Structure 1
Amino acid sequence: MNMSEEDVQQKLRDLFSDERLGAGSTLNPETIVAGARRRRRRRQLMQTTSGMAAAVIMVGGGLTVFTIHDRDNGAAFPGDQLTMGAASSSLPLPGPGSSVPPESPPTQPSETTSTPMHSTASDGPVKPPKSTAATKPPAQGKVTTGSLLTAAGFGKLRLGMSESEAEATAGPLRAKEVRGTCTYGYAEGTAVVPGPASVSLTEAEGITVINPSGTVHTPEGIGVGSTEADILAAYPGTTKDGGAYVAPASAVSAYRISVAKDGSAVSILLTSNNQDCQFS
């Protein structure tokens, strides 16, 4: 049988005013009814909140069981608790007068376009890129200072000339000296001879050595200041003889290139390959 709140209050008044209790009760029936009403509303609110919390937790993912305790009467109500990953946290319940936050839609993972990364790791030794053009050594610096001394001679003064031919070309030989089979002299520079030069000659071979006094250079660009590398590059087959390099000039002649201690050329003369005279 359902009773109204007024009926309940009247029954409580009659109960507490009964003389059989032996003493007047200090309890107020209105206070008891109001407290019961508050507990009933709190219970209903907690039941409603539990259902809404369960809905939010269901959307979030994990589901676990927890118990909501009523602080007033100790009654327990089953509810739900969200577990995120391996850790579980209790969801706080809203108190009287508070509102439940609106449900947020689940966040969709953003789609990102990933660009494949090019690996810089090498499976083996890195090979150098192929060269499109052959590597050339630096151009050799050629010497062009001074007069030209060729494989054949010095101007019109040539190897193999007899003494009379040499004097007819360069004028009388000065400081003429005969030692053994060799004659040594000094030819002046003329219109057909670039400069003064010492010569050595024999009756059988004619002029065998031409040694210009001034600065000269060869057609290959070797002259005073040329390095050992320059000489070897210009004349393959060059040999070393004391303080000079003997560089082949032709089938019958060679350049004798005197060098300083640092290997640079200081003077050049022309000689026949087969001769016994001194280098004057």
Structure 2
Amino acid sequence: MNMSEEDVQRKLRDLFSDERLGASSTLNPETIVAGAKRRRRRRQMMQTTTGMAAAVVMLGGGLTVFTIHDTDNGAAFPGDQLSLGVSSPIPQPPGPASSVPPAYSSAPSSIHASAPPPSTAPGGSVKPPKSPTATKPPAQGKVTTGALLTATGFGKLRLGMSEAEAEAAAGPLRTKQVRGACTYGYAEGSAVPGPTSVSLTESAGITVINPAGKVHTPEGIGVGSTEAEILAAYPGSTKDGAAYVAPAGAVSAYRIFLSDDGSAVSILLTSLDQGCQFG
């Protein structure tokens, strides 16, 4: 309950005039009230001055904690703890040292290396780490053994030659047989790399050249070549029974015969438009 100054003075007069005190007091109620007012004003001024000083120190030097002291009774009033980027540690009570680490301590962070550091070039530029080199597929194995069979012929024999032209180039055809429209013969000698069977017609000339020995094509296909190598060398090849028909020229093709394991065993040259046997 708040009391006015007049109420305070009246209470003091009644107290000092009480006969139970046994003596008349020389204290003046007005003097006591006036002294209390002076002490209250001084305390308010001190609080104001202290607050202003704390604000000035906080702005100039980063003070984080200040305390207001009452000069009359010595009581301390802790002010608000102001943080300027640094947190204050929590005060510990007196007594034996505690084994608990401070609240603001932190364990060192561990660093895990996930990749080797990039290398630095002599000029100062940073080179990115090298990626594993991709494994290149093995190069296609080219067959070069045996005689060369081209898209046009074998030795001096050429597709389209008449019988007379063929005998003029390679000599008389041996074991010559005529079956229907087709004539079959056998050529050998220096004009051809090896013994060769031929098929021809009167209208189209030589339509089949079938060497008896090992041969290879300019693209490296020969005896022992795999199906994958044949298809890589001649992408337009088609399967015909146990053989691949691989386009060789504008009017010719290779007929590549395969064994049971899929490798080439023999090759002959044929015209695209022909109806004779292969010899």
The two structures share one fold, judged by TM-score above 0.5: yes
Q: Name the residue aligned to 1:153.
A: 153
Distance 1:169 1:152 in 2: 15
Superposed CA deviations along residues 181-240 of structure 1, whole A, max 9, x for unmatched, are 0000000132x3111100000000000000001110000000000000000000011000
Alpha-carbon distance change, 139 to 275 in structure 1, aligned in 2, over 3 angstroms: same
Q: Name the residue aligned to 1:172.
A: 172
Superposed CA deviations along residues 214-272 of structure 1, whole A, max 9, x for unmatched, are 11000000000000000000001100001100000011000000000111000000000
Whichever residue aligns with residue 197 of structure 1, its letter is T
TM-superposed deviation, 1:113: 8.7
Whichever residue aligns with residue 217 of structure 2, its letter is T
Look up the SS of the partner of 1:84 in the other structure. coil
Is 1:253–1:272's contact at 8 Å kept on the other side of the alignment? yes
Whichever residue aligns with residue 161 of structure 2, its letter is M
Alpha-carbon distance change, 136 to 83 in structure 1, aligned in 2, over 3 angstroms: closer
Alpha-carbon distance change, 133 to 256 in structure 1, aligned in 2, over 3 angstroms: same
1:82 to 71, 74, 96: 96
Whichever residue aligns with residue 237 of structure 1, its letter is G
Normalised by the length of structure 2, the TM-score is 0.56
Whichever residue aligns with residue 248 of structure 2, its letter is A
Distance 2:192 2:250 in 1: 23
Whichever residue aligns with residue 247 of structure 2, its letter is P
Whichever residue aligns with residue 143 of structure 1, its letter is V
Distance 1:119 1:224 in 2: 53
Alpha-carbon distance change, 137 to 62 in structure 1, aligned in 2, over 3 angstroms: same
Look up the SS of the partner of 2:166 in the other structure. helix
Look up the SS of the partner of 1:230 in the other structure. helix
Distance 1:205 1:163 in 2: 10
Look up the SS of the partner of 1:183 in the other structure. strand
2:233 corresponds to 1:219: no
Structure with max Cα Rg: 1
Q: How does 1:24-35 map to 2 (within 5 A)?
A: none
Distance 1:230 1:119 in 2: 44
TM-superposed deviation, 1:138: 2.1
Unmatched runs of 5 consecutive residues or more in structure 2: 1-91, 101-106, 116-128
Alpha-carbon distance change, 116 to 131 in structure 1, aligned in 2, over 3 angstroms: closer
Whichever residue aligns with residue 222 of structure 1, its letter is I
Is 1:62–1:82's contact at 8 Å kept on the other side of the alignment? no
Superposed CA deviations along residues 141-172 of structure 1, whole A, max 9, x for unmatched, are 00000000000000111000000110011110
Query: What's the % identity of the aligned pairs?
Result: 74
Distance 2:215 2:162 in 1: 24
Distance 2:200 2:247 in 1: 20
Alpha-carbon distance change, 130 to 199 in structure 1, aligned in 2, over 3 angstroms: farther
Q: Name the residue aligned to 1:207.
A: 206
Is 1:154–1:193's contact at 8 Å kept on the other side of the alignment? yes
Is 1:258–1:266's contact at 8 Å kept on the other side of the alignment? yes
Distance 2:184 2:143 in 1: 29
Q: Name the residue aligned to 2:4.
A: none
Q: How does 1:1-280 map to 2 (within 5 A)?
A: 62-63=93-94, 81-82=95-96, 84-85=98-99, 116-118=111-113, 136-190=136-190, 192-280=191-279
RMSD of equivalent CA atoms: 3.2
Whichever residue aligns with residue 96 of structure 2, its letter is L
Whichever residue aligns with residue 139 of structure 2, its letter is A
Question: Size of the alignment, in residue pairs?
Answer: 173
Alpha-carbon distance change, 137 to 159 in structure 1, aligned in 2, over 3 angstroms: same
Alpha-carbon distance change, 115 to 155 in structure 1, aligned in 2, over 3 angstroms: same
Normalised by the length of structure 1, the TM-score is 0.56
